[in-house]
């Protein structure tokens, strides 16, 4: 899954990277602790091409009467996204990309303490999560989104059995729908050797934690090193 991530890329750099027109109400960056229900940066297709816009992280199906009317849908499983009533229409026609610098996952110590790990590209390039979006509400519609996840590849499975669907630049156009059909074929675990990970300070366990120290190496890695994800 993906339940927390970091984005440090400046807004103008994100717009340039994705060749997208930026909106005026984008979240502030850097943010080292992006949490569910907060606004995130998202790249979607508009009438004039790619747009960089703000979306609420937490997909709200149209039948939700309020933001808390059902489960908090921050992730959508690639294996079932086309069948789930909440996501099926969005998977066909409302796909987007969510930029990130890295994301967090957790393991447990022998005593049951939650140990956070920061996962990032080994080449230090930005990450593009595959996602889907939905406009929710009648009076003042808000765009909401969920990150697509797949089974973890071999390297990341040492930390978690799921991982976000990460797309390479050559696949962005296909996912957004501007390069024809074939998005379904992209929903596979990422290749080995693209990501790396390290332990970070348990301070990130708190939603209000902030600052660049959250992604710095911390303590001893108790998962064998020497492997890239």
pLDDT band at 167 (very low <50, low <70, confident <90, very high): very high
> Residue range 188-205: average pLDDT?
91
What mean pLDDT is reported for the chain? 93
pLDDT digits (tens, 9 = 90+) for 4-57: 999 999 999 999 999 999 999 999 999 999 999 999 999 999 999 999 999 999
Please give the Cα distance from 8 to 68 (Å, whole number): 29
226: pLDDT strictly greater than 60: no
Percent of the chain topping pLDDT 90: 83
> Residue range 119-124: average pLDDT?
95
221: pLDDT strictly greater than 90: no
Contact in structure between 97 and 168 (CB atoms under 8 Å): no
H or E segment at 92? helix 88-93
Q: Please give the pLDDT value at position 229.
A: 37
pTM (two decimals): 0.94
Q: Please give the pLDDT value at position 223.
A: 57
180: pLDDT strictly greater than 90: no
Beta pairing, strands 142-151 & 75-77: parallel
Q: Which residue is it, tokens 């071999």?
A: 154
Contact in structure between 10 and 27 (CB atoms under 8 Å): no
Q: What structural domains does the chain harbor? A: 5-215 (3.90.1680.10)
DSSP 8-state symbol, 204: G
Contact in structure between 176 and 90 (CB atoms under 8 Å): no
Q: Please give the pLDDT value at position 227.
A: 37
63: pLDDT strictly greater than 70: yes
pLDDT digits (tens, 9 = 90+) for 78-107: 999 999 999 999 999 999 999 999 999 999
How many angstroms separate the most distant Cα atoms in the chain?
54
């Amino acid at each position: 899954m993906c339940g927390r991530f970091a984005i440090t890329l400046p807004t103008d750099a994100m717009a340039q990277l994705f060749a997208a027109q930026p909106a005026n109400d984008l979240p502030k960056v850097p943010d080292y602790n992006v949490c569910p229900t907060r606004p995130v940066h998202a790249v979607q297709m508009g009438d004039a091409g790619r747009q960089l816009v703000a979306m609420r992280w937490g997909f709200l199906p149209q039948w939700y009467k309020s933001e808390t009317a059902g489960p908090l849908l921050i992730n959508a499983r690639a294996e079932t996204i086309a069948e789930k009533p909440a996501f099926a229409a969005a998977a066909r026609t409302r796909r987007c990309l969510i930029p990130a610098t890295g994301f967090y996952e957790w393991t447990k110590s022998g005593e049951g303490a939650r140990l956070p790990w920061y996962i990032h590209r080994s080449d230090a390039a930005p990450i593009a999560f595959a996602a889907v979006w939905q406009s929710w509400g009648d009076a003042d519609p808000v765009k909401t989104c969920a990150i697509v996840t797949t089974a973890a590849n071999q390297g990341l499975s040492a930390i978690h059995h799921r991982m976000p669907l990460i797309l390479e630049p050559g696949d962005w156009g296909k996912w957004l729908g501007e390069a024809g059909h074939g998005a379904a074929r992209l929903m596979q675990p990422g290749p080995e050797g693209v990501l790396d990970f390290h332990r970070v300070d348990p301070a990130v366990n708190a939603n209000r934690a902030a600052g660049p120290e959250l992604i710095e190496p911390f303590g001893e890695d108790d998962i064998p090193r020497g492997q890239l994800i």
